[in-house]
């Protein structure tokens, strides 16, 4: 989960969309794809790659999402003022794919990680059925700041790390890369059958890391695999790193200090943090305490 706190002033490139569940499909042990439709998607403009959007998921006793306001000036305050038991939870997810079918229907796919009912998003996705409606803030223009994957034109090697929460974003990136793009990737998942097929035209060398170490030991496991791996020589490598915040920091440090990648060419995002609830992370984001993702921030 990418923790962001969208502000009303940011909706110049973003707007509310009503998303109707069309169907669901299990992709692996931990992944469920939900396909959404709806008339408002005719104005949805995904920038591709790791395009994110904010979903508003209803509380367990509601079938559909209801917000008191979707006006760009008032929605945030109105949403925050709702009683806690009625307030939809807001979570950021990746647009796995946007398309228009032969029948002229606009659809988007969003892949959810299923990890029990303790997570509101996992709880909702596990019970999603056709006809349910949620609301989302998504892109109204393709060139928007919620596409974080931005390799320079001179990039000659893409290094990638993602855990299961960032795998849908990594998959969307791979799906969009052109033939000839060189990629060295490491993807961490909790189960063997989470090693899903990742279509790409790129020249991609992917290593799957099936997690065996619990808690903070997962970071050590990832670093052991990365340190033992070779990557092709490159003059201008670019790194995209996303997943659990502590592991992301460690992988970024490895890439910059041990693989000598210019820190300005590293894009990193903590989707979640071990030992911290999603609500705590959101509270930090609202308070302006979320860690920086800028290339020159402290290692």
pLDDT for the residue 296: 38
pLDDT at 279 over 90: no
Q: Are residues 132 and 163 in the same domain?
A: no
pLDDT digits (tens, 9 = 90+) for 143-171: 999 999 999 999 999 999 999 999 999 99
Tokens read off for 292: 């920086």
Residue 292, domain member (yes or no): no
- What is the distance, to the nearest Å, from the Cα of residue 222 to the centroid of all Cα atoms in its chain? 20
Pairing of strands 14-26, 106-113: unpaired
Tell me the two tokens of residue 116. Answer: 């029990």
278, pLDDT greater than 90 = no
Binned at pLDDT 50, 70 and 90, residue 9 comes out as very low
pLDDT for residue 229 is more than 90: yes
Rounded CA separation 199/105 (Å)? 23
Residue 116 confidence class, pLDDT cut points 50, 70, 90: confident
| 180, 209: one domain | yes
* pLDDT higher than threshold 80 for residue 289: no
pTM over 0.85: yes
Q: How many structural domains comprise the chain?
A: 2
Has residue 145 been placed in a domain?
A: no
48-57, 69-78, 104-113, 272-281: segment of lowest average pLDDT = 272-281
- In the predicted structure, residue 276 carries a pLDDT above the cut 70: no
| Residues 164 and 133 placed together within one structural domain of the fold | no
Domain final residue pick, 94, 112, 139: 139
CATH code for the domain in which residue 201 is found? 3.40.50.80
Query: What is the residue range of 174's domain?
Result: 157-286
**pLDDT confidence band for 231 (50 / 70 / 90):** confident
Looking at the structure, do residues 162 and 281 belong to the same domain, yes or no?
Answer: yes
Task: Report how far residue 86's alpha carbon sits from residue 159's, in angstroms, rounded to the nearest whole number.
Answer: 42
pLDDT at 288 over 70: no
Question: Looking at residues 128-150, what average pLDDT do you find?
Answer: 96
Has residue 263 been placed in a domain?
yes
Residue 3 in domain: no
Beta strands across the sheet bearing 89-94: 89-94, 52-57, 133-139, 14-26, 31-37, 106-113, 97-100
User: Above 50 in pLDDT, residue 95?
Assistant: yes
Q: Is the pLDDT of residue 46 over 90?
A: yes
Residues 132 and 28 in one domain: yes
How high is the pLDDT of residue 8?
Answer: 47
48-52, 159-163, 229-233, range with the lowest pLDDT = 229-233
- Answer with the residue of higher pLDDT: 11 or 225: 225
CATH number of residue 16's parent domain: 2.40.30.10
């Amino acid at each position: 989960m990418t923790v962001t706190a969208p502000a009303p002033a940011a909706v110049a490139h973003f707007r509310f969309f009503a998303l109707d569940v069309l169907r669901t499909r299990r992709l692996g042990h931990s992944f469920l794809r939900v396909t959404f439709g709806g008339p408002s998607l005719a104005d949805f403009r995904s920038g591709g790659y790791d395009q994110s959007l904010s979903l508003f998921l209803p509380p367990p006793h509601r079938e559909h999402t209801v917000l008191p306001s979707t006006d760009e000036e008032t929605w945030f305050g109105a949403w925050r003022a709702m009683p806690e038991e009625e307030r939809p939870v807001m979570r950021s997810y990746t647009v796995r794919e946007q398309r228009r079918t032969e029948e002229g229907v606009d659809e988007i796919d969003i892949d959810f990680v299923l990890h029990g009912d303790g997570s509101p998003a996992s709880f909702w996705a596990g019970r999603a059925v056709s006809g349910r409606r949620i609301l989302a803030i998504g892109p109204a223009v393709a060139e928007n700041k919620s596409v974080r994957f931005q390799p320079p034109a001179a990039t000659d090697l893409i290094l990638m790390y993602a855990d299961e929460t960032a795998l849908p974003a990594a998959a969307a990136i791979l799906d969009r890369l052109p033939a000839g793009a060189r990629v060295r990737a490491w993807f961490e998942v909790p189960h063997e059958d989470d090693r899903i097929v990742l279509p790409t035209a790129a020249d991609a060398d992917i290593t799957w890391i099936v997690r065996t170490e619990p808690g903070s030991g997962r970071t050590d496991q990832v670093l052991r695999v990365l340190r033992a791996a070779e990557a092709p020589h490159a003059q201008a490598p670019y790194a995209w790193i996303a997943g659990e915040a502590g592991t992301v920091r460690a992988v970024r440090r490895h890439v910059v200090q041990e693989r000598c990648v210019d820190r300005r060419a590293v894009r990193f995002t903590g989707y979640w943090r071990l030992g911290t609830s999603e609500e705590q992370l959101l509270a930090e984001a609202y308070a302006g305490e979320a860690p920086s993702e800028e290339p020159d921030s402290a290692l």
